[in-house]
Structure 1
Amino acid sequence: MYKSRILIVCPDSSGLALLTSMLKSLGHVIDEAPNDRAAVRLLERESVDLVLASVDPADSDCLELLNYVRRKHGHAAVVLMFPRIHPDRAKEAMRLGAAVLRYPAPAAELRAAVQQALEKANASKPAAVPVASEATNRTASAPTFSDWTPSPAVAEPPPIATQEVLTSQAPALPPTDLVRESNLIGVDPGLRQILGLATALAGSSATVLIQGEPGTGKSELARWLHRGTPGDRPFVAIHAAELSEAAGLDDPTSTRRDLGAEWASKLSRAVGGTLYIAEVGALDPGLQLQLLREIQLQDMEAASGRSGGDRRNQGQARLVLSTSEDLAGLVDQGRFRQDLFHRISSVSLTAPPLRHRGEDVELLAEHFRARFARQFDRQVVGFSRDAIEVLRRHDWPGNVRELQGVVQRAVVLCHGTRITATHLGPILNPHRGARAARANASRPHLPMGIRPLKEALEEPEKQIIIQALQALNWNRQETARMLDINRTTLYKKMKKYGLLVDEPMWVD
């Protein structure tokens, strides 16, 4: 089988890595370039069959690479990805024979566009290209929206006139009452965008990896994804370590049961529904292989059309995985299969840590207070102001899970109507309270709500960044330009405030 050569050009390193991982499953040879100059140097050394480039349509030079490819490599197909709508640039790119997609694009749509672009380029590639017919060959070398027919599994993109093909905004949030049934409540933009993306994925059968620190609500997100399953379908949750133990792998003196049979048993319990494997990095190497084979099998059946749409209707289980470990680091250490990592990381969600969610701490605390007050029949109606300050100042290393436990114990300890700092202090840090009391003994009394200056100044900075990102459709380059800072500074501040929820996220 002939392997085509694909050149991916993307200035964002994480985006470049994700685009590469999504296309590796096609089996072609992939080269990478961070910018147009590096791409041209590579093209001068070796020709390629297709160029996939992420470009900013606001840049007046955004089509220079396309023009170069058309002049020097007329046989090569070109697919351009725009992060935002720009009809004029899109029409010009299509006039030059390039396909135009939104960035980020759904993985299935991207793969379909690349495959069909390669098929058209290979079909129209002549043995020798006469100079007189070069323009004709250029136009035929890549698909356009007018002649590109997606595979049945991918919805046909709308005409460019509708301006929807390049839209990359997050889906609308689910109803508030559904959110409150879980612990996924809050007003933080990072959480809201993650919930919107999870809602979009809920109706899909794609394998999803959920990343995040312990206690951030990964299992809640897994159940949220399961809500899209029609009817009363099973949700089977198991920890990867338990799965290995169930297979008889942790006792070297015991008889090791057949991994294939054990894996089949777990899958059979989740047929038609969802199999959620928590902390997938803890899987035994043998079970990693079983998981890889299952994903490959499902992908093959989906590609062949035998699954008939939703593979869960064909006796299969949708796979949702989670990890609080750095799987890429485990790959480097030889503890996790690289091929499995690339398979499961192409569609992923990242749960933001609680310390980056601002006032969500208070909202969640009130949510848990009401729940446990009913559960334990306590007349606890709220928190005192000093209790709220204690909650705000804590860094929550255990995230939402820690907050839930703290509020539960505080409700049990409270014999009045309000939870005070006295109920929270010993729970959060038994030593901090005594040290703070001694340190504050000689200080004058400060009005309630006074915070350290650095901490107080961070909140308005975060809100300014959020407002700018929202106004510019989360385009980092334009946001950095508006705020008069460089992109690296913006990236660091977004990371600090937990606003990097859009990477990586691919809807398959």
Structure 2
Amino acid sequence: MPQILVIDDDPAFNLMLSAFLKQQQYQVQTAHSAEEGLRLLRGHTFNLVLTDFRLPDKDGLELLSMIKVISPTLPVILMTTYADIQTAVRAIKMGALEYLTKPINPDETLLLVQSTLKKKEDVPVSPQLSANSAFVHGTSPEAEQIDEFIQLVAPTNLSVIIEGESGTGKEYAARTIHENSKRRDKPFAAIDCGALSTELAGSELFGYVKGAFTGALTDKKGQFEAADGGTLFLDEIGNLPYEVQVKLLRALQERKIRKIGSTTDLDVNVRVIAATNEDLLKAIHNGQFREDLYHRLNEFKINIPPLRERNGDVLLFAKHFLQQANQELEKNITGFESDAEEVLLHYRWPGNLRELKNVIKRAVLLTKGNTISLQVLPPEVVNYKPEPVINTESIRMAAGQSETNLKSITERNEREMILKTLEQVRYNKSKAARLLNIDRKTLYNKLRQYNIEA
């Protein structure tokens, strides 16, 4: 049965409209303020929102923009006693489905509701299953603050730094900013700076011209040119080679790029969103990141907390990934057994949302009944115990070597030391490998050996 949310601060009108819709066999929830409506949207699945334009804490356009952050595809109908054509046009441009003038006509309203829901009946709309369906909107205070920050910065042209551990959803936050910006009809380009060498970074970011070097048989567009007019997402910006940081700063300040091998500049109009899982201020202090580039990127900062600090969201996220896995694997698992929920709540989730998604997908694949049980969850999740405090100084003294040298640590303590080091560098695997005195390949082998998601 379709779920409708009615937001109106007039109790009599709210009661009248909800009663009318219930008579038409719709399930209805009501809210008397914008904030109350947003709380319901974050915690429940709705197919349609009908909201008054004049609310005590927000106007309809402001509320509409926040709804589109939580669920970009959720249909919204604005209702008002002020038949303002300009406001109606603005509302439609911002994503409102329709604009009704009070006093509303019951037959007209019912026809609009029916036609809207008919378009959506094959694709249920959910605040967690939005167009940007891999980004999960929780109900914890931390999640609400993230949504608020995204809503504030999205319509601007400010450069943004998104901080957070690996797997927390930084790219999906960046995509949500883009989808709710004035650039949403232009390209969104993403590049992993951690995978770029000094030689490759220049050509990937700025492109090159034919004949610039051996093998340059044709002109190549860089990501700046590909994202012109839109948004460029630079992931793991802290790993960008220092030499390339100089060229990036120039591109941001002058809005010009020069392709490798070219003698002329190319104008570009790109908004840059950068993400990092390391402390850039510490990298500046260590001479690994340019301070002027940091300040140019840091016009606005969003921190995405790790999953272990958002306990109120774990089960909500798990149910979201359950829905995704059901669709992908063509199954119909209805939920989790109570002991499985307890395990999910108490596990530390070092790999954050990425690890949780993989665990749920595997569990759905293995489940033969209707609910997920302990038996289909990974042993490291089921058998998790809070990690004991490790006296690394004692280990160092006993070994006579650096506390982060894996060669001096017994196998019994390897997993704990790897986890500790990953947390210390905010899950930057390149830095973790250096601190542990091993190469990246050995670190990846250890991660697989100990079932560590990072």
Normalising by structure 1, what TM-score?
0.44
Normalising by structure 2, what TM-score?
0.49
